[in-house]
Amino acid sequence: MPGKFESRLADLGVILPEAPAPAANYVPYVIVGDTVYVSGQISNGPDGFITGKLGETMSAEEGAAAARTCAIALLAQVKAACGGDLDRLVRVVKLTGFVNSTADFGDQPKVVNGASDFMVEALGEAGRHSRSAVSAASLPFGVAVEIEGIFQIK
Question: pLDDT, tens digit, for every residue of 68-127?
Answer: 999 999 999 999 999 999 999 999 999 999 999 999 999 999 999 999 999 999 999 999
As separate numbers, helices (DSSP H) first and strands (DSSP E) second, the chain gives 3, 7
pLDDT of residue 68: 98
pTM: predicted TM-score of the whole model, two decimal places? 0.97
Q: Which domains does the chain have, with CATH numbers?
A: 4-153 (3.30.1330.40)
pLDDT of residue 87: 97
d(CA 57, CA 130): 29
Sign of the CA dihedral running 60, 133, 19, 3: negative
pLDDT of residue 23: 85
What DSSP string runs through 2-71?
--HHHHHHHHTT--PPPPPPPSSSS-SEEEETTEEEEEEEE-EETTEE-B--BTTTB-HHHHHHHHHHHH
